[in-house]
């Protein structure tokens, strides 16, 4: 059985068990939501669960956006004040990479975000950026909050650059999760899972309503691009999509 760098603090004698993607979960380490593979304590009465990134996090790390910072993994935020992640702007509630010299903090999952993501057909390519060329498609601002720039995924290629805050993606996913969109069940008013999921994706507004992308083709092409962008950023931020989301993506793209 694979051994992780970190295990359950209450049952350290038992190795953590890797499980495939399933229902959304809250990581016991960083306290962030996860959708991909996860490590579980094997004690049947224990609910300790970790992201892959948290279970196998290195004790020390660096990041290209912070040249002067040397990050150390802490199991809780240092100091007596509230801290936020300098990548997504969200609160630090558990595991965090902290630099005592510069004061920067990063969620483990944010530190390990991919520098670039693209679909298999090469239609969409997005780059992780610290400085953005335009406002975020979702919130229409450059900064996540006042004084916090936050990281973004930015479309590459010629023409206008479209930016998507990592923070805004997280918020959109969590809002739709709370509405029950990420389940495979039929809701109480009789809407099918596919209709329910379509509503979830289209409420994301992950592609701007105007601009060259929408004018360049039909609404079908627009929807396909929207789904690709959603799938790519979702996967980068939260891990591999759960079964319902993967099925939804295939269904919409094939329409």
Residues 180 and 238 placed together within one structural domain of the fold: yes
Q: Residue 55 pLDDT > 80, yes or no?
A: yes
Q: Token pair 């306290």 is at which residue?
A: 31
Residues 129 and 86 placed together within one structural domain of the fold: no
Counting beta carbons within 10 angstroms of the beta carbon of residue 197, is it exposed (0 to 12), middle (13 to 18) or buried (19 or more)?
buried
Residues 186 and 204 placed together within one structural domain of the fold: yes
- Identify the band that residue 30 occupies on the pLDDT scale cut at 50, 70 and 90: very high
Residues 120 and 245 placed together within one structural domain of the fold: yes
Residues 71 and 84 placed together within one structural domain of the fold: yes
pLDDT, residue 224, reads 60
Mean pLDDT value across residues 63-75? 95
Residues 240 and 164 placed together within one structural domain of the fold: yes
Total domains in the chain come to 2
Residues 88 and 203 placed together within one structural domain of the fold: no
Residues 131 and 245 placed together within one structural domain of the fold: yes
Phi-psi region of 50 (alpha: psi -120 to 50; beta: other; left: phi over 0): beta
**Residues 149, 159 contacting (CB under 8 angstroms):** no
pLDDT, residue 219, reads 46
pLDDT tens per residue, range 82-98: 899 999 988 999 999 99
Residues 181 and 243 placed together within one structural domain of the fold: yes
- Identify the band that residue 29 occupies on the pLDDT scale cut at 50, 70 and 90: very high
Name 71's bridge partners: 61
pLDDT tens per residue, range 174-216: 877 777 666 544 343 444 555 545 555 555 555 555 544 444 4
pTM of the shown model: 0.79
Q: Which domain holds residue 104?
A: 60-111
Residues 216 and 193 placed together within one structural domain of the fold: yes
Residues 83 and 166 placed together within one structural domain of the fold: no
Which of 77, 111, 145 represents a domain boundary (last residue)? 111
pLDDT tens per residue, range 138-187: 888 888 877 778 899 988 766 678 888 888 888 877 877 777 666 544 34
* 100-114, 122-136, 202-216: the lowest-pLDDT one: 202-216
Q: Rounded CA gap, 110 and 191, in Å?
A: 35
Mean pLDDT value across residues 38-61? 91
């Amino acid at each position: 059985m694979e051994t992780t760098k970190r295990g359950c603090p209450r049952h350290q004698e038992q190795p953590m068990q890797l499980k495939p993607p399933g229902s959304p979960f809250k990581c016991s380490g960083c306290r962030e939501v996860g959708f991909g593979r996860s490590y579980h304590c094997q004690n049947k009465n224990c609910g300790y669960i970790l992201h892959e990134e948290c279970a196998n996090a290195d004790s020390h790390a660096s990041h290209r956006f912070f040249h002067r910072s040397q990050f150390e993994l802490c199991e809780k935020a240092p100091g007596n004040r509230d801290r936020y992640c300098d990548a997504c702007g969200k609160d630090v509630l558990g595991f965090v990479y902290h630099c005592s010299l510069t004061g920067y903090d990063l969620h483990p999952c944010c530190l390990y975000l991919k520098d670039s993501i693209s679909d298999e057909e090469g239609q969409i390519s997005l780059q992780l950026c610290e400085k953005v060329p335009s406002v975020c498609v979702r919130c229409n601002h450059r900064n996540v909050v006042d004084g916090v720039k936050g990281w973004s995924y930015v479309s590459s290629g010629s023409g206008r650059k479209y930016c998507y805050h990592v923070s805004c993606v997280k918020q959109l996913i969590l809002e739709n999760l709370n509405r029950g969109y990420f389940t495979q069940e039929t809701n109480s008013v009789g809407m099918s899972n596919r209709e329910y999921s379509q509503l979830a994706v289209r409420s994301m507004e992950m592609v701007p309503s105007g601009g060259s992308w929408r004018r360049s083709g039909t609404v079908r092409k627009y929807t396909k691009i929207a789904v690709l962008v959603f799938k790519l950023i979702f996967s980068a931020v939260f891990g591999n999509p759960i079964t319902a989301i993967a099925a939804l993506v295939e269904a919409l793209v094939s329409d």
